[in-house]
Amino acid sequence: MEWRDHGILLSARRHGESSAIIDVFTEEHGRHAGVVRGGASRRLAPILQPGAQLDLLWRARLEEHLGSYQAEPLRSRAVAAMSGRLALSGLNAVTALLGFCLPEREPHPALYASSERLLDLLEQEELWPLAYLRWEMELLEEMGFGLDLLACAVSGRNEELAYVSPRTGRAVSRQEAGPWVARLLPLPPVMLGKGEAPDHEIAEGLKTTGYFLETRLAPALGNRPLPEARGRFLDAFSRRL
């Protein structure tokens, strides 16, 4: 068995004295692990940092084997990530959530493309939180828990949408919210692609996506807690509010 693909490195852990087992989100083969011989060496260790864009050649005798990778760097994102607290915590949140959510060896080309675009924006701190919010919405969609924000779940109208139902993930308009306001989740204009995307709206949006990640996605994945890296990103983002 042999294939060649591009991928985003999610994690690398040492294997023996000189090798590493890497977990990569690839374009055509989904999340896929493999051994890199010499992956812990001085030459390869700086390349095998989370977020790195790699050209990969995977080989194994049988498809179900772990197999081994030959990895060539296409783009390193370590320097971009280390440029600031927000970028670093953002990169950790993305790689941790992908590692948390994605089943092994199941391709998600659309999510791969949006993840690659998101990580390429790492150094642009002004754009990054908005791009991250959109990416979390896409992640929920891809995992089967997408939000339906096109029209109000009660009236069917698409005006003054201001809330999201925590039960259905559908939008609710301000008029129809009525006595349930306190129990509904915020739907800031930024989640509808409207307005100038101020930070406080992005924070509200992350509260809503976080709710569905925690109460819908995580239970479906064996009730594991969400990666702490997401919480650290929210902490870093809250510092600039």
Closest separation in Å from C-beta 57 to other proteins = 19
Closest separation in Å from C-beta 45 to other proteins = 8
Positions touching other proteins (CB under 8 A) are 11, 13, 17, 45-47, 49-51, 73, 76, 78-79, 81-82, 85, 88-89, 91-92, 96, 99, 227-229, 232, 235-236
Rounded to the nearest 5 percent, the helix, strand and coil shares of the chain are 40, 25, 35
Closer CB to other proteins, 190 or 226, in the complex: 226
Concatenated DSSP letters of 43-72:
TTTTTS-TT-EEEEEEE-SSTTS--EEEEE
Closer CB to other proteins, 39 or 227, in the complex: 227
Helix (H) or strand (E) holding 211: helix 199-212
Closest separation in Å from C-beta 51 to other proteins = 7
Maximal C-alpha separation, the chain: 63
Closer CB to other proteins, 92 or 165, in the complex: 92
Closest separation in Å from C-beta 149 to other proteins = 30
Q: Where on the phi/psi map is residue 104: left (φ > 0), alpha (ψ -120 to 50), or beta? A: beta
User: Is 6 buried (19+), middle (13-18) or exposed (0-12) by CB count in 10 A?
Assistant: middle
CB of 237 closer than 8 Å to CB of 206:
yes
Closest separation in Å from C-beta 75 to other proteins = 8
Closer CB to other proteins, 95 or 114, in the complex: 95
Closer CB to other proteins, 47 or 147, in the complex: 47
Closer CB to other proteins, 170 or 230, in the complex: 230
Closest separation in Å from C-beta 92 to other proteins = 6
Neighbours of 47 (CB within 10 A): 18
**Token pair recorded at residue 212:** 């569905």
